[in-house]
């Protein structure tokens, strides 16, 4: 019996230039979901995707929500393991604009050490990765007229803005979205020829705080030294959140953290991860952070706290001698099992209130939180994914963690009872959330091939050849 995957791989090869053109078309749409000025563009991206899925032969539609719409599609075989593919069509804001070498929404293919790469906001997060399974489905449909298993597609437009409408939508469409496994491509490989499955995601708590001292901006000569300066106070407050050993200095913060398993430590030490190159790519020589942990351990298995933004007072040219009434910061914690996001959020808020100096007032806003995730690695679906990746790459995938958060994974578990296969094709130096974000075309190609192979392996789980 011939292998149904082979002609699909050939079709993928024939159509790869067209697949790159389609990715470029998708990237040209500035679907900056957090910016109301781009609401029409964000909607346009949803409609573009729904049209592509319809063209492939799936039953696709754009579904309204209270915010950006969902794209939902269904198709494939009438029986077999049901697979739910999730992605997001919204992208991060591109600022700072002046640091882009090519315009963020004019996708440009440039040469790189791994061959050509496409540069644009959203190239890898998430449009390029999303299209790896869309193009795989396209090739499969073209060759075989159907997909080998029943599939559902769910793509949202608010992943970069806390997915406010996702859970209500999932809860309201449980039957339509029911599946046996979810697939998300939004994580990394170790290298273009070294595939990986991600089994750990950090959680997140994100807060914004405003510190208020005097009731108005003050002249720093007329008042300096005799009144509380919210900027001085904010620096002190934020500095107090870490100790000298790189640990978060909030009592109770680490209470729920599961200790690192020796098996994990050993496995990660054995990975072909080039720490020096990883740091050199961002201009650093050594990793700094919590004492006693390696770089990978810090990113994959330890919580942390980062200030993401700070502002207050005068930031224009020259000197303005002001004591501002208000100072502001945005900060976020990354969480690991078994921390519970809402509990850490409450702990953090309480602690910030406690350490707010008596001569200031603090206001704190919750900008979103999500639990850390550990996905089981011993399921038949993980085994299927391992085989699919080994088929394409010629080697087993590494099992890795991820420092980032993908909150939908927790939502899918909680609302639909689904585990998620995190099979991604990004690289560490893709510059997600930074200027000059890129996606290697060799990774795009292998991603499409891997998803085609994954569909074949899913079908075999259901008893197909």
Q: Which of residues 301-340 bind its own copies (CB under 8 A)?
A: 302-324, 327-328, 330, 332, 334
Decide: is 342 part of the binding site for its own copies (CB under 8 A): no
Angle between helices 39-56 and 16-28 (to 10 degrees): 160
CA dist., res. 345 & res. 205, Å (int): 6
Decide: is 435 part of the binding site for its own copies (CB under 8 A): yes
**What residues between 94 and 113 interact with its own copies by CB under 8 A?**
95-96, 99
Nearer to its own copies, 353 or 433 (CB): 433
| 258, two tokens | 């599961």
**What residues between 266 and 305 interact with its own copies by CB under 8 A?**
279, 282-284, 286-290, 295, 298-299, 302-305
Decide: is 432 part of the binding site for its own copies (CB under 8 A): yes
- Kind of pairing between the strands at 420-423 and 196-201: antiparallel
CA dist., res. 101 & res. 104, Å (int): 9
Distance of closest approach, residue 243 Cβ to its own copies, in angstroms: 11
Distance of closest approach, residue 449 Cβ to its own copies, in angstroms: 25
| 66, 216, 263, 378: which one binds its own copies (CB under 8 A) | 216
Nearer to its own copies, 231 or 455 (CB): 231
| 202, 345, 391, 460: which one binds its own copies (CB under 8 A) | 202
Nearer to its own copies, 231 or 408 (CB): 231
Angle at alpha carbon of residue 311, lines to 405 and 226, rounded to 5° = 135
Decide: is 351 part of the binding site for its own copies (CB under 8 A): no
Decide: is 431 part of the binding site for its own copies (CB under 8 A): yes
| 91, two tokens | 């992208």
CA dist., res. 98 & res. 26, Å (int): 23
CA dist., res. 234 & res. 236, Å (int): 5
Integer Rg of the chain from CA: 24
CA dist., res. 272 & res. 357, Å (int): 48
Nearer to its own copies, 22 or 165 (CB): 165
Nearer to its own copies, 154 or 218 (CB): 218
CA dist., res. 447 & res. 9, Å (int): 11
Farthest-apart Cα atoms in the chain, separation: 88
Nearer to its own copies, 292 or 417 (CB): 292
CA dist., res. 187 & res. 432, Å (int): 11
CA dist., res. 118 & res. 124, Å (int): 9
Distance of closest approach, residue 67 Cβ to its own copies, in angstroms: 12
Nearer to its own copies, 289 or 380 (CB): 289
Residue 116 phi, psi dihedral angles, 5° rounding = -70, 155
Distance of closest approach, residue 401 Cβ to its own copies, in angstroms: 11
Nearer to its own copies, 235 or 461 (CB): 235
**What residues between 395 and 414 interact with its own copies by CB under 8 A?**
402-405
**What residues between 134 and 163 interact with its own copies by CB under 8 A?**
161-162
Distance of closest approach, residue 223 Cβ to its own copies, in angstroms: 7
Distance of closest approach, residue 165 Cβ to its own copies, in angstroms: 14
Decide: is 376 part of the binding site for its own copies (CB under 8 A): no
Decide: is 382 part of the binding site for its own copies (CB under 8 A): no
The 10 Å Cβ neighbour count of residue 134 is 26
Establish how many alpha carbons lie within 13 A of residue 293's alpha carbon, considering only the half-sphere containing its beta carbon. 20
Distance of closest approach, residue 100 Cβ to its own copies, in angstroms: 11
CA dist., res. 159 & res. 161, Å (int): 5
**What residues between 34 and 93 interact with its own copies by CB under 8 A?**
34, 92-93
DSSP assignment string, 61-98: EEE--SSSPEEEEEEE-SSS--EEEEEE--B----SGG
CA dist., res. 324 & res. 312, Å (int): 7
Please name which of 415, 459, 465, 354 lies closest in space to residue 80, comparing C-alpha atoms. 459
Nearer to its own copies, 52 or 158 (CB): 158
Q: Which residue do the tokens 């963690």 mark?
A: 401
Residues touching its own copies, count (CB under 8 A): 91
Nearer to its own copies, 152 or 187 (CB): 187
Decide: is 368 part of the binding site for its own copies (CB under 8 A): yes
SS3 at position 418: coil
Which range touches its own copies (CB under 8 A), out of 71-79, 228-236, 379-387, 412-420? Answer: 228-236
| 61, 65, 232, 256: which one binds its own copies (CB under 8 A) | 232
Decide: is 229 part of the binding site for its own copies (CB under 8 A): yes
Nearer to its own copies, 196 or 454 (CB): 196
Distance of closest approach, residue 199 Cβ to its own copies, in angstroms: 16
């Amino acid at each position: 019996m011939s292998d149904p995957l082979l002609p699909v791989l050939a079709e993928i090869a024939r159509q790869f230039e067209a697949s790159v053109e389609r990715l470029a078309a998708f990237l040209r749409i500035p679907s900056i979901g957090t910016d109301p000025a781009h609401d029409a563009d964000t909607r346009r991206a949803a409609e573009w995707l729904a049209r592509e899925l319809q063209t492939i032969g799936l039953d696709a539609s754009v579904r309204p929500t209270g915010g950006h719409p969902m794209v939902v599609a269904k198709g494939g075989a009438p029986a077999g393991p049901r697979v739910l593919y999730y992605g997001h069509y919204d992208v991060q804001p591109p600022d700072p604009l002046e640091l882009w070498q090519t315009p963020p929404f004019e996708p440009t293919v440039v040469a790189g050490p791994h061959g050509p790469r496409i540069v644009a906001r959203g190239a890898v997060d998430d449009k390029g990765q999303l299209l790896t399974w869309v193009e795989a489905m396209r090739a499969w449909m073209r060759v075989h007229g159907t997909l080998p298993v029943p599939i559902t597609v769910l793509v949202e437009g608010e992943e970069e803005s806390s997915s406010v409408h996702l859970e209500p939508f999932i809860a309201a469409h449980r039957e339509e979205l029911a599946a046996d496994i979810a697939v998300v491509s939004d994580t990394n490989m170790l290298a273009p020829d070294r595939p990986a499955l991600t089994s750990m995601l950090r959680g997140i708590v994100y807060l914004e705080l405003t510190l208020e001292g005097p009731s108005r901006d003050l002249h720093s000569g007329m008042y300096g030294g005799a009144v509380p300066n919210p900027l001085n106070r904010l620096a002190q407050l934020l500095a107090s959140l870490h100790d000298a050993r790189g640990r978060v200095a909030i009592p109770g913060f680490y209470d729920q953290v599961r200790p690192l398993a020796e098996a994990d430590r050993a496995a990660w030490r054995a990975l072909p991860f080039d720490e020096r190159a990883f740091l050199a790519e961002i201009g650093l020589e050594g990793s700094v952070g919590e004492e006693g942990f390696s770089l990978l351990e810090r990113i994959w298995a330890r919580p942390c706290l980062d200030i993401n933004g700070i502002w207050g007072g005068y930031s224009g040219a020259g000197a303005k001698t002001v004591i501002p009434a208000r100072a502001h910061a945005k900060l976020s914690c990354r969480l690991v099992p078994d921390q519970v996001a809402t509990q850490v959020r409450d702990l953090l808020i309480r602690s910030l209130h406690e350490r707010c100096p008596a001569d200031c007032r603090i206001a704190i806003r919750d900008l979103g939180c999500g639990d850390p995730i550990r996905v089981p690695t011993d399921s038949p679906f993980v085994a299927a994914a391992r085989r699919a990746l080994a088929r394409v790459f010629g080697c087993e995938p590494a099992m890795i963690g991820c420092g980032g958060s993908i909150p939908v994974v927790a939502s899918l578990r909680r609302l639909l009872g689904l585990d998620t296969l995190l099979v991604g094709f990004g690289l560490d130096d893709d510059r997600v959330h930074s200027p000059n974000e890129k996606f290697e075309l060799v990774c795009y190609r292998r991603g499409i091939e891997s998803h085609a192979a994954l569909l074949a392996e899913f079908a075999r789980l259901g008893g197909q050849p």
